[in-house]
Structure 1
Amino acid sequence: MTLLFRAVVAFLLAKLATLTVNLIQFPVLRTADCRTPADRRESPTVSLLVPMRNEAENLPRTLPAMLAQLGVTELVLLDDESTDSSSDIANALLDGSPIARVMVGTPPPPGWVGKNWACQQLGNAASGQLLVYCDADVLLAEGAVEAVVRELLRQCAEVFSVFPRQLTGSLGEALVTPLIDDVLLCFLPFGLLSADVPAAATANGSLLAFTRAGYAELDGFAGVRGEIVEDVALARHARGAGLRLGLALGGDLVRTRMYCGYREVVTGLSRGLLPVTGGSRLLLGAAAAWQLAAYSLPLAASVRQRRWLLPLALGVAERALVALKCDRARMWQAVLTPLSPIAFLPLAVQAMRRQQQWKGRTYS
């Protein structure tokens, strides 16, 4: 038990060290201080590209905000074989817009994951110097796209992505979805992103931008056509091609509620867990067990051994600092830290199944 205690404390201290660096270095999108029309004319042309499949509930909330973005040359949505009224809603909301249109997607060819094929079709149709892919559930605040362009240029990135602020509406969501930010900020020192380390290459498909030259170098999404976790695969593909990666947090400008309710969290997030562990169910199971040991065990063990209050406090401090960087209003959720690994277990079990279901499609 002493060895486990020391291992847990060392693990948490190492994560806190990385997190401390990222609290200082990791960029957060900000609105421009003051931009004149002349400044905007000098900016690159931007194609805002939105793949949509069964997004009827999200579009009335997110599409008007996309339409209101300054600096967007064209807004193109692609209906990826939706079985709901997504296309009708999108066309109604875009009615009269001179820069926006809805494309009808074609079925994915053999070997292509549906979203990757939808993005490839959008890229083929885009005319901008910058291609900005944005999921239909992402809510863009005023000036968000301009902030993305400015940060991409500042980082000299050819492939750039934003980790949106995660919005939650239920306890189950609050226990699991903030782990996305925790993994990013506690395992990837921002300075390592520019190093030639394949494991340090990452991206987020919620908002993913390419320069035209970078997109051409990668041949779009063709190199990751069969990948379920296409964003991370794209980042590693870009690293292998010698392209420069860029990252930022969405802050107040880019927000999303990825899943509505715990059941959707389990179904949605579990799709990507096994690919992240290289397809190893043993490694995934070991990771889930270690999370229990590092965050849940200290709460139970501290009842009898007060020394376990140290890792308990370190775990809570970690989640509080992540929230401080990403969303101050979520800091109170740090007290739920010991429960998060327990809520994560059904995701690990679901991820080990040979087939996954999402929006009417089956993934092996």
Structure 2
Amino acid sequence: MKLERAYLGLAFAFFALKGATLLGNALTFPRLKREAPPIPADLKVSILVPARDEAHNLPRTLPGVLNQPVTEVLLLDDGSQDGTPEVARRLGAQVLSGQLLPPGWMGKSWACQQLAQAASGDILIFTDADVRWQEGAAQAVVHELWARQADLLTVLPRPEDLTLGARFLTPLVDNVVQTFLPYPLLQTRWPLATTANGAVMAFRREAYWSLGGHATVKMEMLEDTVFARHLKAGGHCVTQASGQTLIGVRMYRSYPESIQGFSKNAVGVHLNSRPLMVGLAVWQFAAYTLPWLLPARTPAWQALRAMTLLERTLVNLVTGRHAPADLLEGLLGPITPLLALPGYRRALKPHVTWKGRDYPQ
């Protein structure tokens, strides 16, 4: 009985803390606004797209990027084998051919470094090839960066066009940020209280090169957040915003793809500590799955079950995902720790494979 009371007390405290964080972020976390003013005529803005084997994504995403009112859009082909540069040129993009990956570099960081060296913008906006930009998105990004006097603005794109398999894990990026990371804490000077999403990162040029560009994170799998931590540690301002209806992403097309993506970042997200990762995985099972494996003899157990179902639905409402299928994702809460197990198992390996390249982790 004492063990049961202790477990229930810990579980309720856990969900109360996450709920309070979500409520705070619903009130304070910035959202991109469609009515942002035009980009000043004298401000040069470069949108930079690293691309490796992205021919399947570019017809859906690149036209929206090319339609943004910016100085230039550069796409770098990072050794693709699927016709990516041909598709990009056919769509009207200016395509750069990437140099061979040097020893000691991760592929994406090397591609971004080359793009930055070629760019002329005062603002450098890196965006992934699977990110879809709507009309007004670039103005909103630049306005948010300027209004908050930030050196780096990172945008969390809204997940879209999700298959059933992709829904299992892909939207958890929003869940982690919105329920674990209070926006006021993210705005403190503490470097570890920082998050970034490599899908969209807008830098002031001087701040970006003050650290040597992506060279400062050349061997980091979680290069986006680590870069943001380095910037904050150097006294720069880092801020975040939700993409809402202006910037969306179809990150993975299936459950196996999401497992690959989940596993490559899992160790970095847990501060490069495998024991911490395993411990939190066990707790996630205890908090979300265990209440459904034990008999709900009291109202407290029934309330705990309800919390496991409501969390993802509430997060989706806060991040602008209101479709019935989005709201029904809450039903996945109790089985999410089980669905994540293959990703944790892959993350325990000493190497990770991504985009056809093998990296130590």
TM-score of the two chains, using structure 1 as the length reference: 0.94
What secondary structure sits across from 2:25 in the alignment? Answer: helix
Equivalent of 2:18, from 15, 19, 38?
Answer: 15
Is the alpha carbon distance of 1:243 and 1:315 closer, same or farther for their aligned partners in structure 2, counting shifts above 3 Å?
same
What secondary structure sits across from 2:221 in the alignment? Answer: coil
Q: Alpha-carbon deviation of 1:171?
A: 2.7
Q: Is residue 2:76 matched to residue 1:83?
A: no
Range moving further from structure 2, 251-260 or 185-194? 185-194
Q: Is residue 2:327 matched to residue 1:331?
A: yes
Q: Work out whether residues 165 and 254 of structure 1, in 8 Å CA contact, stay in contact via their aligned partners in 2.
A: yes
Q: Alpha-carbon deviation of 1:311?
A: 1.6
Q: Distance in 2 between matches of 1:192 and 1:291?
A: 23
Equivalent in the alignment of 2:210: 217
Q: Is residue 2:269 matched to residue 1:269?
A: no
Q: Alpha-carbon deviation of 1:154?
A: 1.1
Q: Work out whether residues 130 and 211 of structure 1, in 8 Å CA contact, stay in contact via their aligned partners in 2.
A: yes
| CA offsets 1:53-72 (integer angstroms, 9 cap, x no match) | 000100111111111112x1
Q: Work out whether residues 47 and 75 of structure 1, in 8 Å CA contact, stay in contact via their aligned partners in 2.
A: yes
Equivalent in the alignment of 2:356: 360
Q: Is residue 2:123 matched to residue 1:130?
A: yes
Equivalent in the alignment of 1:119: 112
The percent identity for this pair of structures is 42
Unaligned residue ranges in structure 1 (runs of 5+)? 95-99
Range moving further from structure 2, 41-50 or 131-140? 41-50
Q: Work out whether residues 39 and 142 of structure 2, in 8 Å CA contact, stay in contact via their aligned partners in 1.
A: no
Equivalent in the alignment of 1:202: 195
Q: Work out whether residues 125 and 200 of structure 2, in 8 Å CA contact, stay in contact via their aligned partners in 1.
A: yes
Is the alpha carbon distance of 1:21 and 1:302 closer, same or farther for their aligned partners in structure 2, counting shifts above 3 Å?
farther
Q: Alpha-carbon deviation of 1:302?
A: 4.3
Q: Distance in 2 between matches of 1:302 and 1:32?
A: 51
Q: Work out whether residues 182 and 319 of structure 1, in 8 Å CA contact, stay in contact via their aligned partners in 2.
A: yes
| CA offsets 1:59-87 (integer angstroms, 9 cap, x no match) | 111111111112x1000000001111001
Equivalent of 2:343, from 341, 347, 351?
Answer: 347
Letter aligned with residue 53 of structure 2: N
Equivalent in the alignment of 1:188: 181
Q: Work out whether residues 29 and 183 of structure 2, in 8 Å CA contact, stay in contact via their aligned partners in 1.
A: yes
Q: Distance in 2 between matches of 1:22 and 1:65?
A: 29
Unaligned residue ranges in structure 2 (runs of 5+)? none
Equivalent in the alignment of 1:97: none
What secondary structure sits across from 1:50 in the alignment? Answer: strand
Range moving further from structure 2, 175-184 or 73-82? 175-184
Q: Is residue 2:91 matched to residue 1:93?
A: yes
TM-score of the two chains, using structure 2 as the length reference: 0.95
Equivalent in the alignment of 1:68: 67
Equivalent of 2:150, from 157, 168, 186?
Answer: 157
Letter aligned with residue 218 of structure 2: R
